[in-house]
Amino acid sequence: GVQRLLNQARWDADRVRDDLRPYVIEHLGDPQAVLVIDETGFLKKGDQSVGVQRQ
């Protein structure tokens, strides 16, 4: 479901933004707010990466 939506489905990003913006402003808006987007990360591979262990 969600994986397909994010990776394969075709959708209009501008339309989604335009639809979502009023909701975000109403429910999350604050004059003192700051939006931080952090895309840092690393590929967890093998068993030597922090946070990787057999489950």
The reported pLDDT for the residue numbered 33 is 85
8 Å CB contact between 19 and 26: no
Taking a C-beta distance cutoff of 8 angstroms, is the pair 13, 5 a contact? no
- Tell me the C-alpha to C-alpha distance, in Å, between residue 7 and each of 15, 19, 21, 51: 17, 20, 22, 25
Render pLDDT for 5-54 as a digit per residue (tens, 0 to 9).
888 888 898 999 999 999 988 988 888 988 888 777 766 666 666 666 66
